[in-house]
Amino acid sequence: MRVLGVDPGLTRCGVGVVEGVPGRPCTLVAYYVVYTDPGDELPLRLLHLDRSLTDLVAEHRPDAVAVERVFSQHNVRTVMGTAQASGIAVLAGARAGLPVQTYTPSEVKAAVTGSGQADKAQMTAMVTRLLRLPEPPRPADAADALALAICHVWRGGTRSKLAAAAERARRGGTR
Amino acid sequence: MRVLGVDPGLTRCGVGVVEGVPGRPCTLVAYYVVYTDPGDELPLRLLHLDRSLTDLVAEHRPDAVAVERVFSQHNVRTVMGTAQASGIAVLAGARAGLPVQTYTPSEVKAAVTGSGQADKAQMTAMVTRLLRLPEPPRPADAADALALAICHVWRGGTRSKLAAAAERARRGGTR
């Protein structure tokens, strides 16, 4: 399966595309960082981000989109922009008719390094190794996006099926 | 001018459309509340919100969109969803090629009631009176969205022009 991962941010939004199957090393397809100018007005920035993500989804035709879940404990100054960017990322996947899954940073770290407490350097090193890249992806936002995509390849399919089954059970016979 | 105001929320998103000119009473065009089911997955909820807002913008063809600015001081449990909904609202206006302005709750209260500290009941009463409605709009999310639209009619044009002039000055001869 091919997965497009998004590390949401308003100023820098990481995007990573990988292909693979659970339990085997993934293959790098591409990675990007979408930048928006902090000096521009919010509508223009969200529009640029939406168009860029929509274009990347159309170009790479992933089977699923994985987006990092944002928490309000983050840096208060930037958290609202990050939350808005994550909404745009989730929407870009949903508008393309793709399954979209969100993961917490700990889930991604645990999936990729085996430890939910891994630091940024460990994450980047593992992503570089897992994708057999000649050097670490730069900037780091791209590494985080690739880690999200790897996490979804390894965990996502199963989790989505479980979530779908739970959803069906919850709704019972009503729909 | 016709303005579409949005009081963003993921579970309940208020939308109010008014027409008017600065300093004169506005006229009600329509108001709505877009609901999404908290039991549904996030991508489905954002997609429903995006489609609903895009449809309402297309139906009412406003000259501008006004969206309440979200702060991280809000209820921590719901603030991320509210921020994502506000991003979708700003994007819906921008995708339609419309000017989008955000206002803080205090700015809206000051514009509509004369006091930045007005409570919800005062706000609803003023919106009802200003639009000469036979009874208060229900639910309250709609009243807040109408207040945003009135605020933009009364303040928005001027502010946008000032902002545009400042933007041109800031950019100087570079673009």
Say which CATH number the domain at A103 has: 3.30.420.10
Q: What is the reported pLDDT for B139?
A: 84
β-strands A2-7, A64-68 pairing: parallel
- Domain region containing A21: 2-174
Tokens 């879940």 locate to A69
Set B7, B19, B37, B63: catalytic member: B7
Q: Report how far residue B111's alpha carbon sits from residue B159's, in angstroms, rounded to the nearest whole number.
A: 13
Please tell me which residue, B17 or A23, carries the higher pLDDT value: B17
Question: Which among A126, A103, A97 is positioned nearest to A7, based on CA atoms?
Answer: A103
Whether the CA torsion B76, B82, B86, B87 is positive or negative: it is positive
Whether B141 is catalytic is: yes
Q: What is the reported pLDDT for B174?
A: 39
Residue A171 has pLDDT above 70, yes or no: no
Residue A41 has pLDDT above 70, yes or no: yes
* Token duo for residue A14: 């990481």
Q: Report how far residue B99's alpha carbon sits from residue B67's, in angstroms, rounded to the nearest whole number.
A: 11
Residues of B with CB below 8 A from A163's CB? Answer: 41
CB distance from B67 to chain A under 8 Å?
no
Amino acid at A143: A
Contacting residues for A163 by C-beta, under 8 A, at least 6 apart: B41
Residue B73: closest CA among chain A residues belongs to which residue?
Answer: A76
Residue B127 has pLDDT above 90, yes or no: yes
Mean pLDDT, to the nearest integer, of B65-87?
84
Residue A101, judged by CB atoms within 10 A of its CB (0-12, 13-18, 19+), counts as buried
Residue A70: closest CA among chain B residues belongs to which residue?
Answer: B80
CB distance from A44 to chain B under 8 Å?
yes
Question: Which among A62, A146, A73, A70 is positioned nearest to A98, based on CA atoms?
Answer: A62
Residues of A with CB below 8 A from B43's CB? Answer: 90-91, 93-94, 99-100
Q: Report how far residue A116's alpha carbon sits from residue A26's, in angstroms, rounded to the nearest whole number.
A: 20
Percent of chain A with pLDDT over 70: 85
Domain count, chain B: 1
Residues A67 and A86 sit within 8 Å (Cβ to Cβ)? yes
Q: What is the reported pLDDT for A162?
A: 54
Residue A74 sits at φ, ψ, to 5 deg, of -60, 175
Residue A101: closest CA among chain B residues belongs to which residue?
Answer: B43
Residue B123, judged by CB atoms within 10 A of its CB (0-12, 13-18, 19+), counts as buried
Q: How far is A60 from chain B (nearest CA, A)?
A: 20
Question: Which among A89, A35, A85 is positioned nearest to A62, based on CA atoms?
Answer: A89
Residue B24 has, within 13 A of its CA and on its CB side, a CA count of 7
DSSP label at B10?
A: S
* Lowest-confidence pick of A90-99, A125-134, B157-166: B157-166
Q: What is the reported pLDDT for B160?
A: 52
Please tell me which residue, A138 or B50, carries the higher pLDDT value: B50
